[in-house]
Amino acid sequence: MNKVIIIGASSGIGRELALLYAANNWLVGITGRRKELLQSLQQDFPENIMTECFDVTGDENIESIRNLTQQLGGLDLLIYNSGYCEPSEISEWEIDKNTILTNVTGFTEIVNFTFNYFVVEGKGHIAATSSLASIRGNSFAPAYSASKAYMSNYMEGLYIKAAKLKLPICLTDIQPGFVKTKMAKGNGQFWVAPVDKAAQQIYTGIKNKKRRIYITKRWWIIAKLLYCLPITLYKKIG
C-alpha cells in the first residue's frame, strides 16, 4: 500500500487531498495545528488515515515527520500544502514574519528532511503548493509572493539535484490561481476553482509525475502573460 504525508490537511485543498488519497486506498498521514479537525477527518477513513498534530512554525517538524513516517511504515509521497497569507495596506513585520516561518522556514526544514530520506530510500516524490503569485511581486502581500517564489525555486533546485544524483525522486511544483478556500483573499478574483476540482487536478498531476501543475489548467495562460508583462504595466495591477 502506498503511503503519503500531507502537511496542512486540516482544511481546504489539503483536507480534500487526504480524502482523495484515502479513498484510493493509500495510507495517509495528515498534519495540522487543529487536532479536532484532524480527528474529524480521520473518522471518515479510520483504517487509512493517521494524524500528527503540530505547527510548522515550531520546533517539532522533523520529529513529527519521522514519527508519522514510522506510523505509516514508510513514505512514498510528501505533499507540503501548509501556507500563510495576509494582505495588508502597509508593510507589517508580524505578517511577514509568520509568512516566512510557514512558507520558507517550515517548508525548507520538512522538504529538506524528506528529500534526504528519499535519497537513502533511493526513490520518492515531493509535491509542494507554491502559487501563481510566485511569478511576480505583489504589493498587498510582498512576503507571500516572495516566499512562494522561494518555494518554487527550491523545488526546481531539488529536481536538478535528484537528476544529478541519478535518483528517481520526483518533484512537483503546484501553482494554483484562485481556489475557493480561506487562503483566497482580496478583491478581483476570477476563474475561482472549487476545492474538489482543484484537489482532483492536483491528484492527477502528481499521479502523472508532472514537474509543474497549474490549478486549474487554464491558469497557465495567466502564468505566461505575467512572465512577459513589462513592469510599467504590471505595477498598475500588482
Confidence (pLDDT) at 135: 82
**How far apart (Å, rounded) are the C-alpha atoms in residues 190 and 193?**
9
Q: Give the pLDDT score at 191.
A: 66
β-strand pairing of 77-80 with 124-129: parallel
C-alpha distance from residue 108 to each of 14, 130, 183 (Å): 18, 13, 20
Query: pLDDT value at position 111?
Result: 98
How many Cβ atoms sit within 10 Å of the Cβ of residue 127? 26
With both helix axes pointing from N to C terminus, report the angle between 142-165 and 93-100 in degrees, rounded to the nearest 10.
20
The pLDDT, as a whole number, for residue 100 is 96
C-alpha cell at 17: 487531498
Low-confidence ranges of the chain (pLDDT < 70): 181-191, 227, 234-238
Tell me what pLDDT residue 139 has.
83
Q: Does residue 7 sit in helix, strand or coil?
A: strand
Q: What number does CATH give the domain 3-234?
A: 3.40.50.720
Given the residues 21, 80, 144, 159, the one annotated as active site: 144
pLDDT digits (tens, 9 = 90+) for 84-140: 888 888 889 999 999 999 999 999 999 999 999 999 999 999 999 998 878 888 888
Catalytic (active site) residue 144: yes
Rg (CA), the chain: 17
User: Domains of the chain: which residue ranges?
Assistant: 3-234
The cell for 140 is: 498587498
Q: What is the pLDDT of residue 46?
A: 94
